[in-house]
Every structure is written in structure tokens, then in C-alpha cells.
């Protein structure tokens, strides 16, 4: 019941729902207290409205936006509370007293300060906004001053409105005690703090505090591009949840042959990038993107099919490649839009065959098999569980945009899968890692996800109370405590390394200070490896776990598990690199044989129905190699999906980059030759002569022919 109300109210948790209810009840109580009048009810209900409002803003509740859309935004709520305070004074027979006039004057002047305050904060933000956001790019031609203190601009409007608290408290105290001086003190504090806030903002509108204009910044970007001469670009645009799609390619870009660059379009995604030594150039404006000189690029790689790709696809000097952000049998892997690219790179033969079967216009000669360089960290299976009991990873994908019941197992099978794993005859550890998009489209999927998290958490608590596991926990207690202490140390150091500048800086200042530091990046990578090791040591090998967020990575969960249950997605194709047993859910109920026929990655899987009755076969294969009927099929399928082990995927990827760059060079040279021939012909026509070398693509021959035709100068 509560979860249904939470979904309908568009709040994220029970505590947010409670705050929303208190906010909704608080204002009628404040109004009632002003009318009665009852100063104590007014004070109590007013305090509740302040606290509930503050909490909802802290949680960034969607309800706040809903209130704004129905003209009940934060300024209106504050104004209403102040008007009700004035009404309270009138009902207390203070309308003819100086304290009444002081209160009215205070709120009038206070709201008079809102306009300059809002104008200043808006102006400062606008003048601190650059047309680009960068990482590892030295814009030495641009002077970028330090950002204003974060405390001045972060949630500035909310902070300014809350400066009415001294006046409200002072007036209420004056009514209770009869001492008007308390009201005057509160009024003076509110107005003084409001004026001070405005004065503190003024220095940051001065010229020396501003970021240079768009023209100067873009000129510096053009200078850097001419100096750096990038040859291989990773171009990305996407939603705020899609950062993983570009992050998965950063390590590959660091190893690519040539001078790499990451070109992005959404500034909010830059903050979500993993550490990298590759230059990152984010250009939000389409006109600014298209106005840059990209003629030095030879290969441009696209992880996603999005509309903004058109702004880079128009660059003729580069060859354009769709590399995707996963390899699976989903329809997204054979998108007809892929026809716009010069080549489509797939992991193995399976990707090539998918396009042939789909017949969406992608020619076989334009498909190149390069493997999956990102899969290098995945460890190969030894054939037996790494711990005394097997670990099964449940990693369902999200529900997708089209509502197809076969997209995710969560809706129809998720709880059955987890329940059967938790109740398996032989003890099993469960790691549950949901897709970050879960619940984005279908709220029922989000509800199931929450129930599964609760199931895993409750099972972990029961296991912790079991005497058998309690003994294991006691024996491992010291080691786990040491691992947790190590985690805290590593996280503190990673946090310090993640922000090379001052705390609270904006994107402009971060662009200035975020130049690549090889020592910092090397330390960060070492610490992340140490963090991953300490994370798994910080709890027992028997403990069930819900894993969310960027760390630990999905591949780290692969390495920790002995088998996996998932859905049709790139997760399955990636897991096949480990060689471990896996199961895939036939959520649409088309039958195991047809399911395997339609989905390549399922050929070596245990196929689960929605009741998950077939899980025993997966658990048997994990526990006993002799019971693993699919081992041979998995080895063959791995090569079919991901290509051979030798040469390595990174070597094949770089070979494809070099070959395509050579094609781009040949194309550009041919165009230059044709243009040279055309310009000579146009010059000859202007002289009244027939075009020379019109059919000749050799610029040297054309030049010789023109020299012979020109009259010799006589001295």
C-alpha cells in the first residue's frame, strides 16, 4: 500500500512521502493557527513546514518540481507563511502596533532584495559558462578565473528565502513574550543578512572575475586542435544515465594507435566520466560543433545511435564507425541507422551474421570483426567454485522502451529466480546487480527490483544469524574489519585524487585545472584495483549482496561469481568470455528451442522458464564439472561471439583503426588531386583556353601541361 502511494506521489522513499504529507498538512495548520489565533500551533506547524520543505529539497524530490508546475513553488510557500504571520499579528490585536509595521516593512524590503539577488546569481552563472567543457585540454590562450565559493551559488534562491527565519522567529517570540525588541532584532538580522548576501555576490560580476567570451574560448579550442591534431575520436551523446556507454571505451581509447580524443555533447555527462588521460572536449552547441575544423580526424567512433551524431557524420575527411556499447541479440544491435556509417565493428562472426539475417542495408564488406577490448579484465574460469560455496550473479537487464515482455526477466521471473537461489538445497551465495536503467520506463520493474533487494537483504540477515555462518563470521571478523578500514583509506584518497582543484569549483575552473597527470592517473588505477580487492574481502564469501553503483564494476562481479543468470543483453555476451556456466530467462515464453534459435548467446545457456525451475541444472554445472553439459558449446560460442584469443582484441582493434585511417588518407588525397585538377581547368577556361588535364587525376601531370601551355616570360 505504502509503495503504491509512493509511486503515485512521485517520491523516492517513505521518508519523502512522510515529509510531503507533513508539508501538505502543515500549511493548513499554520493558516488555522493564524485565524484562531494560536501562537503555539503557529510556531509548531510553521517549524514543520520549514523542516519538510528543507528535507524535500535536500533529497531533490520530484514533488518539488510538481509544486513549481502548479504555481506552489518555494517563493510562494515562503510568502504564504509570511502573510499568515502578518494575519496572526492582526488577530492578536497588534495591527496598530509598531511591531506590525516593522514586520510588514521587513517582508516588503526582503522581497525587494530577491530581485537583485536573483539577477546577480543568474548573471554570474551565465558569465561563468563556457561554450565548451574540457578535460586534459590545455586552453592556455584563455584566462579562467577561480569560481565563486560554492556556498554562494549552490541552491542560492533557497538560501536567500531562508534568511527570513530570524524575522519569523523574532516576531513569534515577541508575540509570546510581549518584548517587541525580539521582533526588531529578528527583522534587523533578516534584512542585514539579505543585504550582506547581495554584497558578497557583487565582486563576482567584475570583468576580472568573468570567463572570457565564447569567441575567445572557441579560438583557444581551435588553437589546441591545430596543435594536438587528433586522429581518432570517440564521439558520444546520450542521457544522464548513459555515461557507462562512453566509460566502457575509455581504456580502449588510451591504448588506441594515433592521437585520441573524446568528443561529447552533454556537460553533465563529463562529470560522470571515469579518470582518463585522453583529452575530452564537450561542445554542447550544435553550431559550435559543426563550426570546428575536424579535418585532422581520420577515424570517428560512435558508441550509440543518437540524433546528434549527424553533427559529426557530416565531416567528410574522417571515416565513421559504429562500435556500439555492447554485443547482443537485441534489435539495437542491428539498427538500420547503422547504414550511415562507413563501417560497423562487431566483436565476432555473430555480429556479422546478425546483420545478414536482419537485412537492414549494412553490407557485409562494411563489417569488421575486432573483438571486445573491454573484456580483458574478465578472468577465465578454473572449472570449480572459487569459494567453499558457489556464488551466482543475477544481473537482469532493464525493461527497454518497447514494452516487450522478453526484454527483462525482472517482471515475470525475477522474484522466482532469487527465491529459488536463496532456497537452494545446497547453500549458494547470491549477488544481485540490477541494470542502472531499471524502472526508467516501467514502474512495475522498479517495484520488483525493490522487493528483490529486500529479499536478498533479509536472506543475508538470516544467514548471519545461523550458527554455522556465525562461526565463519567470527573467524573472519578481524580480516573483514581490516578490509573495511582499508576501504575507508582508499576511498578517502580516491576522493582527493578525483578533484584536482579546489572544492566546490564549477565546470569552467575544472576545465582549467584538469590537465592529465600521469602520476595521479597511475595512482588512481592502482587504488581502484586495491579497492576492488578490499571490497570483496570486507564481507564473507557466504554473504548475499546487492551491488549497485559504478563500483564494483560488472566485470568484477563476473570474476567473483561462479555462474550467472541474466537476460538477452550484452551482459550475457560479455560473461561468455569467462567460460563459466550461465542461464538466460525466456521471459516471453517462446520455448527453449526457439529461444536458442533466435538468440545466438543462448546456444550454450541453461534456458529458464518464468518459474525458474531449471536453475538446478545451472547449480549442478557450477558445482561439478562432470555435470556441466554445455562446457564444449560455451568454448565454441565464445569464439563465434567474441572472436579468437589471438591476436588479442586490442591488437585487432588497432589494426582496424590503422586500416580505416589509411582509407581516409587515400580518400582525402584523391579529393585533393581532383580539386587541384578542377581549379586548373577553371583557370584555363577563364583564359579562353580549353581545360587542361580535365580527365587527369595526377596533379603533377596537370601542372606540367599547364606550364607548357603558358607563354614564356621575356626579359
Q: Whole-prediction pTM value?
A: 0.78
CA distance 377 to 189: 60
CA distance 115 to 98: 27
Beta pairing partners, 232: 260, 299
CA distance 559 to 154: 41
In the predicted model, is pLDDT for residue 292 greater than 60?
yes
All cell numbers assigned to 411: 517482471
pLDDT at 11 (0 to 100): 58
Largest Cα separation within the chain, whole Å, is 112
In the predicted model, is pLDDT for residue 397 greater than 80?
yes
In the predicted model, is pLDDT for residue 140 greater than 60?
yes
In the predicted model, is pLDDT for residue 238 greater than 60?
yes
Q: Which residue has the higher pLDDT, 337 or 253?
A: 253
Q: Which pLDDT band holds residue 315 (cuts at 50, 70, 90)?
A: very high
Average pLDDT over residues 198-223: 91
Average pLDDT over residues 671-677: 89
In the predicted model, is pLDDT for residue 441 greater than 70?
yes
Least confident piece of the model among 328-337, 396-405, 480-489, 658-667 = 328-337
Q: Which of 138, 156, 175 is nearest to 279 (CA)?
A: 138
* Residue 14 CB neighbour total at 10 angstroms: 12
Cα–Cα distance list, 221 to 214, 226, 268, 494, 609 (Å)? 10, 9, 20, 30, 55
Mean pLDDT of the chain: 88
Average pLDDT over residues 661-675: 94
User: CB of 382 within 8 A of CB of 628?
Assistant: no
In the predicted model, is pLDDT for residue 708 greater than 50?
no
Share of the chain above pLDDT 90, in %: 65
pLDDT at 510 (0 to 100): 84
Cα–Cα distance list, 470 to 431, 454, 460, 518, 600 (Å)? 20, 21, 12, 45, 43
Beta pairing partners, 585: 608
DSSP code for 549: S
In the predicted model, is pLDDT for residue 707 greater than 50?
no
pLDDT at 39 (0 to 100): 95
pLDDT at 705 (0 to 100): 40
Q: What is the C-alpha end-to-end distance of the chain, expressed in Å?
A: 102
Helix (H) or strand (E) holding 4: helix 2-9
CA distance 100 to 180: 10
pLDDT digits (tens, 9 = 90+) for 337-350: 899 999 999 999 98
Q: Which pLDDT band holds residue 184 (cuts at 50, 70, 90)?
A: very high
Written in H, E and C, the secondary structure of 531-546 is HHHHHHHCCCCCCCEE
pLDDT at 702 (0 to 100): 38
Give 78's contacts (C-beta < 8 A, 6+ positions apart).
161, 164
pLDDT at 502 (0 to 100): 57
Amino acid at each position: 500500500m505504502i509503495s503504491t502511494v509512493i509511486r503515485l506521489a512521485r517520491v523516492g522513499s517513505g521518508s519523502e512521502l512522510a515529509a510531503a504529507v507533513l508539508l501538505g498538512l502543515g500549511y493548513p495548520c499554520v493558516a488555522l493557527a493564524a485565524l484562531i489565533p494560536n501562537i503555539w500551533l503557529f510556531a509548531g506547524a510553521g517549524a514543520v513546514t520549514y523542516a519538510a520543505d528543507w528535507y524535500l529539497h535536500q533529497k531533490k524530490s520530484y514533488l518539488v518540481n510538481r509544486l513549481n508546475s502548479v504555481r506552489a513553488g518555494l517563493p510562494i510557500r515562503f510568502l504564504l507563511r509570511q502573510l499568515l504571520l502578518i494575519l496572526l499579528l492582526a488577530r492578536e490585536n497588534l495591527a496598530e502596533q509598531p511591531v506590525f509595521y516593522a514586520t510588514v516593512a521587513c517582508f516588503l524590503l526582503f522581497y525587494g532584495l530577491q530581485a537583485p539577488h536573483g539577477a546577480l546569481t543568474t548573471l554570474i552563472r551565465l558569465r561563468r559558462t563556457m561554450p565548451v567543457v574540457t578535460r586534459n585540454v590545455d586552453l592556455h590562450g584563455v584566462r579562467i578565473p577561480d569560481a565563486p565559493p560554492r556556498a554562494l551559488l549552490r541552491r542560492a534562491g533557497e538560501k536567500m528565502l531562508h534568511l527570513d527565519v530570524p524575522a519569523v522567529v523574532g516576531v513569534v517570540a515577541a508575540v509570546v513574550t510581549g518584548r517587541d525588541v525580539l521582533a526588531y532584532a529578528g527583522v534587523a538580522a533578516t534584512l542585514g543578512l539579505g543585504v550582506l548576501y547581495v554584497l558578497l555576490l557583487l565582486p563576482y560580476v567584475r570583468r576580472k572575475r568573468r570567463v572570457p567570451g565564447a569567441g575567445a574560448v572557441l579560438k583557444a579550442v581551435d588553437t589546441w586542435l591545430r596543435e594536438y591534431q587528433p586522429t581518432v575520436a570517440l564521439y558520444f551523446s546520450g542521457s544522464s544515465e548513459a555515461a557507462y556507454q562512453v566509460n566502457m571505451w575509455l581504456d580502449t581509447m588510451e591504448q588506441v594507435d594515433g592521437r585520441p580524443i573524446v568528443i561529447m555533447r552533454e556537460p553533465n555527462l563529463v562529470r560522470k566520466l571515469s579518470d582518463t588521460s585522453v583529452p575530452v572536449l564537450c561542445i554542447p552547441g550544435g553550431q559550435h560543433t559543426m563550426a570546428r575544423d575536424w579535418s585532422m580526424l581520420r577515424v570517428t567512433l560512435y558508441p550509440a545511435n543518437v540524433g546528434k551524431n549527424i553533427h559529426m557524420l557530416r565531416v567528410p575527411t574522417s571515416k565513421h564507425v559504429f562500435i556500439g556499447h555492447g554485443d547482443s541479440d537485441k534489435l539495437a544491435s542491428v539498427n538500420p541507422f547503422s547504414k550511415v556509417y562507413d563501417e560497423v565493428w562487431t566483436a565476432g562472426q555473430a555480429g556479422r551474421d546478425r546483420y545478414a539475417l536482419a537485412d537492414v542495408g549494412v553490407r557485409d564488406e562494411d563489417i569488421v570483426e575486432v573483438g571486445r577490448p573491454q573484456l580483458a579484465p574478465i578472468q577465465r574460469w578454473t572449472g570449480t567454485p572459487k569459494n567453499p560455496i558457489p556464488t551466482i550473479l543475477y544481473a537482469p537487464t532493464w525493461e527497454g522502451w518497447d514494452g516487450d515482455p522478453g526484454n527483462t526477466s525482472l517482471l515475470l521471473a525475477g522474484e522466482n529466480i532469487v527465491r529459488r537461489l536463496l532456497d537452494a538445497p545446497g547453500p549458494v551465495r547470491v549477488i544481485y546487480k540490477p541494470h542502472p536503467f531499471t524502472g526508467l520506463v516501467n514502474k512495475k520493474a522498479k517495484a520488483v527490483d525493490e522487493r528483490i533487494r529486500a529479499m536478498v537483504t533479509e536472506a543475508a540477515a538470516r544467514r548471519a544469524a545461523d550458527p554455522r555462518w556465525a562461526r565463519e563470521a567470527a573467524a573472519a571478523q578481524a580480516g573483514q574489519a581490516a578490509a573495511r578500514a582499508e576501504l575507508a583509506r582508499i576511498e578517502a584518497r580516491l576522493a582527493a585524487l578525483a578533484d584536482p582543484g579546489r572544492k566546490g569549483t564549477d565546470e569552467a575552473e575544472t576545465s582549467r585545472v584538469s590537465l592529465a597527470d600521469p602520476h595521479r592517473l597511475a595512482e588512481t588505477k592502482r587504488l581502484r584495483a586495491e579497492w576492488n580487492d578490499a571490497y570483496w574481502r570486507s564481507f564473507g564469501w557466504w554473504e548475499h549482496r546487492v551491488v549497485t553503483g559504478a563500483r564494483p564494476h560488472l566485470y568484477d562481479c563476473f570474476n567473483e561469481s561462479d555462474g550467472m543468470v541474466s537476460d538477452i543483453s550484452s551482459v550475457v555476451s560479455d560473461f561468455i568470455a569467462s567460460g563459466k556456466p550461465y542461464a538466460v530467462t525466456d521471459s516471453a515464453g517462446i520455448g527453449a528451442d526457439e529461444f536458442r534459435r533466435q538468440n545466438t548467446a543462448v546456444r550454450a545457456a541453461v534456458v529458464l522458464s518464468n518459474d525458474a525451475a531449471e536453475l538446478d541444472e545451472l547449480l549442478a554445472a557450477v558445482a561439478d564439472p562432470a555435470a556441466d553439459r554445455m562446457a564444449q558449446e560455451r568454448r565454441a560460442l565464445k569464439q563465434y561471439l567474441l572472436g579468437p584469443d589471438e591476436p588479442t582484441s586490442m591488437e585487432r582493434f588497432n589494426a582496424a583503426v590503422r586500416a580505416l585511417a589509411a582509407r581516409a588518407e587515400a580518400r582525402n588525397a584523391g579529393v585533393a588531386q581532383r580539386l587541384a585538377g578542377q581549379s586548373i581547368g577553371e583557370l584555363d577556361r577563364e583564359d579562353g583556353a580549353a581545360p587542361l588535364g580535365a580527365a587527369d587525376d595526377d596533379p603533377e601531370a596537370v601542372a606540367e601541361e599547364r606550364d607548357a601551355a603558358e607563354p614564356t616570360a621575356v626579359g
